[in-house]
């Protein structure tokens, strides 16, 4: 490959919503294009304008740009071109797409984290509609799902995705790489209102503190005050043994996950459906998390076609004390949500308490009573949360109060 040329992105018969872009720097001739696009009629002009504007910002006056476009959205084209320019010039300027205010939301430390959907960090087509599937969290992954040579371009794609995609209230998560590369990931992504960072292959509290420290520095430098939570992933025997220390390593840790694929590899055992080989590890992680006051989160279920297997897996997971698990396909989300959702009798009881509470409020009473029984404030809080959750999960109609109370 010519050292004046750089190639980024993807094309091919199965690739959608992406582009393969090849940028060659020249000494003369201005900016020339060779654009092959399935949306040439609708957006050919706008693609050429966008690229010209970007090259101008990067101070490039002469170059040939070849784009093979399968309908990439502007933020994708921008990431691909910026990655190519950076490969060739090492320039430090960023070309950032708009960042609507409504995407800059924060999340709560103790929010539900039943389902978190993994998205490979260099695959735009899976990202675009990810926010529609009602996952509690969406993880843009820079670690295992991205090939080593694609790490830099994926980071820019994820950065742009965080600024441009509507995740509809899902917790905005990223899984960073290990080591120094992970620190670079943080530099690029923390200013994009990341709600939670997953730390892969976490083996000791130092890993956590290093990440937390770096995040605090980035936030301070950028003048940002939003909370950024941490979720270390335990994926080794050593990590399991140090789980409690990891869970307490920093106040920003809100959850701790287990990664069974790597853990079984580290232990030299085969991962089975029953999972007896990791029972100790899972018990230990649940216990450590509960002792530290954070949420224990289970590993992903790898067979996306086996919904029955997933359902059983969730039941076991919930019984062990886990409070959520990862998903690798949107269709898994509903099954996981149902599995972790409050049960019918719990909802019925909560409905009564909430009605009594609202009744007391409207009458200006300071004390909530159900029949002759007084209800303590934490019980009301839990009931409100259960109802809120049941509505959010779609198992209770938002207008449940209007339905006949059917009370004796």
* Chain residues in the site for another protein (CB under 8 A): 16-17, 38-46, 70-74, 128-129, 132-133, 329-331, 394, 397-399, 402
Q: How far is the CB of 46 from another protein (least distance, A)?
A: 6
Q: Treating both helix axes as pointing N-terminal to C-terminal, what angle do 377-392 and 344-362 enclose, rounded to 10 degrees?
A: 120
251: Cβ–Cβ under 8 A, 6 or more apart, which residues? Answer: none
164: Cβ–Cβ under 8 A, 6 or more apart, which residues? Answer: 73, 74, 75, 97, 98, 99
d(CA 185, CA 181): 6
**Residue 72, exposed/middle/buried by CB under 10 A (0-12, 13-18, 19+)?**
buried
Which CB atom, from 46 or from 381, has the smaller least distance to another protein? 46
Which CB atom, from 5 or from 393, has the smaller least distance to another protein? 393
Q: How far is the CB of 171 from another protein (least distance, A)?
A: 19
As given in the structure block, the two tokens for residue 7 are 């190639």
Which CB atom, from 71 or from 169, has the smaller least distance to another protein? 71
**Residue 362, exposed/middle/buried by CB under 10 A (0-12, 13-18, 19+)?**
exposed
Q: How far is the CB of 330 from another protein (least distance, A)?
A: 4
Which CB atom, from 129 or from 222, has the smaller least distance to another protein? 129
d(CA 366, CA 376): 11
As given in the structure block, the two tokens for residue 389 are 């959750």
Q: How far is the CB of 165 from another protein (least distance, A)?
A: 9
Helix (H, G, I), strand (E, B) or coil at 404: coil
As given in the structure block, the two tokens for residue 156 are 């820019």
Q: How far is the CB of 214 from another protein (least distance, A)?
A: 33
**DSSP-derived secondary structure letter, 405:** -
Q: How far is the CB of 133 from another protein (least distance, A)?
A: 6
Q: How far is the CB of 312 from another protein (least distance, A)?
A: 21
Q: How far is the CB of 21 from another protein (least distance, A)?
A: 15
Which CB atom, from 371 or from 399, has the smaller least distance to another protein? 399
Which CB atom, from 4 or from 49, has the smaller least distance to another protein? 49
**DSSP-derived secondary structure letter, 246:** H
20: Cβ–Cβ under 8 A, 6 or more apart, which residues? Answer: 7, 8, 9, 10, 11, 67, 68, 80
Q: Looking only at Cα atoms, what is the longest distance across the chain?
A: 88
Q: How far is the CB of 347 from another protein (least distance, A)?
A: 16
Which CB atom, from 99 or from 244, has the smaller least distance to another protein? 99
CA atoms within 13 A on the CB side of 45: 2
Which CB atom, from 111 or from 329, has the smaller least distance to another protein? 329
Q: How far is the CB of 82 from another protein (least distance, A)?
A: 18
**Which of 97, 72, 155, 95 is closest to 121 using CA atoms?**
155
Contact call for residues 199 and 252 (beta carbons, < 8 A): no
Which CB atom, from 4 or from 46, has the smaller least distance to another protein? 46
Torsion of CA 394, 396, 401, 407, to 10 degrees: 170
Which CB atom, from 45 or from 94, has the smaller least distance to another protein? 45
Contact call for residues 61 and 31 (beta carbons, < 8 A): yes
């Amino acid at each position: 490959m010519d050292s004046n040329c750089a190639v980024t992105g993807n094309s091919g018969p199965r690739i959608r919503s992406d582009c393969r872009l090849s940028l060659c720097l020249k000494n003369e001739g201005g900016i020339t294009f060779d654009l092959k696009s399935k949306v040439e009629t609708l957006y050919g002009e706008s693609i050429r304008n966008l690229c010209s504007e970007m090259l101008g910002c990067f101070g490039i006056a002469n170059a040939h740009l070849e784009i093979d476009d399968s309908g990439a959205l502007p933020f994708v084209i921008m990431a691909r071109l910026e990655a190519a320019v950076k490969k060739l010039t090492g320039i430090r300027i960023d070309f950032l797409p708009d960042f609507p205010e409504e995407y800059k939301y924060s999340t709560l430390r103790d929010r539900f984290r039943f389902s978190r959907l993994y998205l490979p960090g260099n695959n735009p087509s899976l990202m675009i509609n990810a926010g529609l599937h009602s996952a509690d969290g969406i993880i843009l992954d820079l670690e295992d799902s991205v090939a080593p040579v694609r790490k830099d371009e994926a980071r820019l794609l994820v950065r742009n995705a965080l600024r441009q995609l509507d995740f509809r209230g899902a917790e905005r998560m990223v899984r960073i790489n290990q080591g120094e590369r992970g620190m670079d990931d943080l530099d690029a992504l923390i200013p994009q209102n990341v709600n939670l960072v997953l730390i892969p292959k976490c083996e000791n509290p130092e890993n956590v503190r290093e990440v937390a420290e770096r995040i605090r520095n980035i936030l301070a430098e950028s003048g940002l005050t939003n909370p950024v939570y941490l979720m270390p992933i335990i994926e080794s025997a050593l990590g399991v043994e140090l789980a409690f220390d990891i869970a307490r390593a920093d106040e920003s840790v809100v959850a701790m996950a287990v990664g069974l694929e790597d853990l079984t590899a580290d232990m030299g055992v085969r991962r089975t459906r029953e999972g007896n080989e990791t029972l100790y590890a899972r018990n230990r992680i649940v216990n450590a998390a509960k002792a530290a006051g954070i949420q224990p989160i289970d590993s992903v279920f790898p067979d996306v076609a086996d919904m029955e297997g997933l359902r059983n897996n969730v039941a076991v997971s919930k019984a062990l004390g886990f409070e959520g698990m990862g998903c690798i396909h949107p269709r898994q989300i509903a099954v996981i949500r149902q599995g972790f959702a409050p049960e019918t009798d719990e909802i019925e009881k909560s409905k009564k308490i909430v009605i009594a509470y609202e009744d007391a409020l409207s009458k200006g009473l300071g004390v909530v009573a159900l029949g002759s029984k007084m209800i303590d404030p934490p019980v009301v809080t839990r009931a409100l949360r259960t109802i809120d959750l049941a509505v959010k999960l779609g198992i209770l109609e938002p207008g449940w109060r209007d339905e006949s109370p059917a009370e004796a």
